[in-house]
Amino acid sequence: MAMRRLKHLEQKLAKSPKLYENVCKQVQEYQMKGYAHLASEDELSGSDNPKVWYLPLNVVLHPRKLEKVRLVWDAAATVKGVSLNSQLLTGPDMLVPLTTVINRFRERRIAFGADIREIYHQIRIRDLNPPDIDVTYTRPTKRLVLSCVMGFFDPQGLLAPFTIHGRMLVQDLWRTGCQWDDEIYDSSFAKWKRWTSLLPEVNAIRIPRCYFNCVSADGQIELHIFTDASEFAYGCVAYFRTIINGKVQCSLVMSRSKVAPLKRQSIPRLELMAAVLGARAMHSIQSSHSFLIQRRFLWTDSSTVLSWIRPEQHNYKQLTAFRIGEIVELTSVSDWRWVETKFNIADVLTKWGKGRPLQSDGPWFQGSELMYQLEQDWPRQVLPAPGTKEEMRAFSLFHDVNVPERLMNVQNISRWLK
């Protein structure tokens, strides 16, 4: 198999002298750097032949960069159903999620970044710049709208007030039945113009790499997560809060948002789904940072959700019960607080507001006004009792009653007691 693959490769290289030269150069560099060497006669004669396995060499070309040639030794190549990969034990996944890399990169004032050349994966940290989108405010097609909306890569959700409304626009196009190459309808075109009008603000955004200018080792760091939902979308946003030199400092950490399902859901149920995102975000943030988060708060303006967050989730319908169970598993009931809608910064994730949501000195990046208040001024509403009947599991009792065709004649009975 390996010899057959090698002959095919030689035929391919013979047709392209430039490719042949590139491959030879790479093999020579591997030998020069000590990655590989020509096997000696002693090594070949002293090897245990039954345990020899030949890896065929393959050449991979980049579809858009023809000058970039990569050599690949195919460990998945099989002989009689056996490959090298099939004989190796699978170890743990040592790759760190991108969100964890970014979170660690923002923790302190000094950060180091590096990559490992060749053989191993390479990681490149890039500035978060939006794609080049040419808006002439002409009426676009559904295909163009989707291309523009999905062209933003925002793993931390730092631009969520912008990207979520783009995804809401795409969902709206699916509802209208617009075809891929048809110009979008008037109602969608108005939303498109409003969405693209924010592009200059997106391009001007600069986010500090470090959460805080200086965080002492004994400084108390709090995690505040706000959740909200509307009939169109739901989401959460997380901030770090600390006090340095007597002054409150807050920093945007991440956010998560989703469009509401096409099938209509009740607002309380969507608020519950937003609470689930908040609980997951809290768990992710705590596990992906090295410093200790002393206190955590999850804020919602839904009293119904607060009444649901109890261990007795089995009393509710299946969909609601599963989500309540996940929240109870990831958080504590004491972590949850009620907040007025005007202080709930997650509101910008679910509906258009009057202001510009992406101002650098605005509440999205600086945090809710609530977090800058003294703690004794925070809302102290007691969690509502689990008395809401919404989403309660229904119980039905069925009775089988047989009624005789003719009732007895009471005139034939002498006593009422009988």
pLDDT of residue 415: 85
Angle at which helices 17-32 and 2-14 cross, to 10°: 120
Output 315 or 251, whichever has higher pLDDT: 251
Domain 208-418 has CATH 3.30.420: yes
Give the confidence band of 310 by pLDDT, cuts at 50, 70, 90.
confident
Q: Is 326 exposed, middle or buried (0-12, 13-18, 19+ CB in 10 A)?
A: middle
Output 135 or 100, whichever has higher pLDDT: 100
d(CA 329, CA 391): 20
pLDDT of residue 386: 60
* DSSP-derived pairing of the beta strands 247-259 and 295-300: unpaired
Give the confidence band of 163 by pLDDT, cuts at 50, 70, 90.
very high
* Cβ-proximal residues to 414 (8 Å cutoff; 6+ apart), any chain: none
Give the confidence band of 360 by pLDDT, cuts at 50, 70, 90.
confident
Which residue matches tokens 């992710």?
Answer: 284
pLDDT at 214 over 70: no
Give the confidence band of 34 by pLDDT, cuts at 50, 70, 90.
confident
200, 189 contact by CB (below 8 A): no
pLDDT of residue 297: 96
pLDDT of residue 252: 96
Whole-angstrom CA distances from 151 to 41, 144, 170, 182 are 55, 11, 13, 20
Q: Phi, psi at residue 184, to the nearest 5°?
A: -70, 155
pLDDT at 349 over 70: yes
Give the confidence band of 215 by pLDDT, cuts at 50, 70, 90.
low
Which range has the top average pLDDT, 98-107, 119-128, 252-261?
252-261
The predicted-structure confidence for 112-149, as pLDDT tens digits, reads as follows: 877 666 654 333 445 444 455 555 768 999 999 999 99
Q: What percent of the chain has pLDDT over 90?
A: 52
Give the confidence band of 409 by pLDDT, cuts at 50, 70, 90.
confident
pLDDT of residue 394: 60
Give the confidence band of 325 by pLDDT, cuts at 50, 70, 90.
very high
The whole-number average pLDDT for the span 151-176 is: 93
pLDDT at 387 over 60: no
The whole-number average pLDDT for the span 223-237 is: 97
pLDDT of residue 116: 64
Give the confidence band of 88 by pLDDT, cuts at 50, 70, 90.
confident
d(CA 271, CA 302): 7
pLDDT of residue 416: 81
Q: Is 295 helix (H, G, I), strand (E, B) or coil?
A: strand
Which range has the top average pLDDT, 229-243, 302-316, 355-369?
229-243
Give the pTM. Answer: 0.74
> Whole-number mean pLDDT of the chain?
86
pLDDT at 217 over 50: no
Q: Is 418 helix (H, G, I), strand (E, B) or coil?
A: coil
d(CA 345, CA 365): 10
Q: Where are the domains of the chain?
A: 2-87, 128-207, 208-418
DSSP string spanning 116-177?
Answer: --SSS--------------------BHHHHHHHHTT---TT-TTHHHHHHHHHHHHHHHHHT
Q: What percent of the chain has pLDDT over 70?
A: 86
pLDDT at 25 over 60: yes
Give the confidence band of 346 by pLDDT, cuts at 50, 70, 90.
very high
Q: Phi, psi at residue 61, to the nearest 5°?
A: -105, 145
pLDDT of residue 413: 84
